[in-house]
Amino acid sequence: MHSILHYSSSVQSFLSVVQPAVGLSFQSHLAGKALTSFNLLIFLGAFIMQWFIGLVIDLVKSFGYTEIIGFKTAFSVFLLLSLTSYIFFLIINKNHIFFKIKNM
């Protein structure tokens, strides 16, 4: 349970830092549209992830397993996807990250 709360708080703090950057990246008359689009994408992403987790739980239950096994499977898939995307991020930005560290 503690790891879920830790992950949730780190994602929330990340999004609270990103949102002002989105607003400041646009001219003042476009900042409202940019922030509205950003919020829409956040809610859309949350909806898709909740729907996907429910889909995995129902799929596991249809194979005759318990609901608890379904939840464990769904969150394991989510963890695997999160780790895969993080590794992809590190590979794509490998040169940029090492260049920044080297120049510090």
Mean pLDDT of 13-25: 77
- Give the residue among 85, 59, 81, 84 at the shortest CA–CA distance from 70: 59
What are 59-94's pLDDT values in tens digits?
Answer: 999 999 999 999 999 999 999 999 999 898 888 877
pLDDT at 90: 84
pTM equals 0.66
Helix (H) / strand (E) element for 27: namely: none
Determine the pLDDT at residue 102. Answer: 58
Q: Tell me, what's the pLDDT at 89?
A: 85
Number of domains in the chain: 1
Tokens 């379904």 sit at which residue? 70
- Look up the domain containing 18 and give its range: 2-102
Tokens of 82: 């999160």
Residue 64 Ramachandran class (φ > 0 left, ψ -120 to 50 alpha, else beta): left
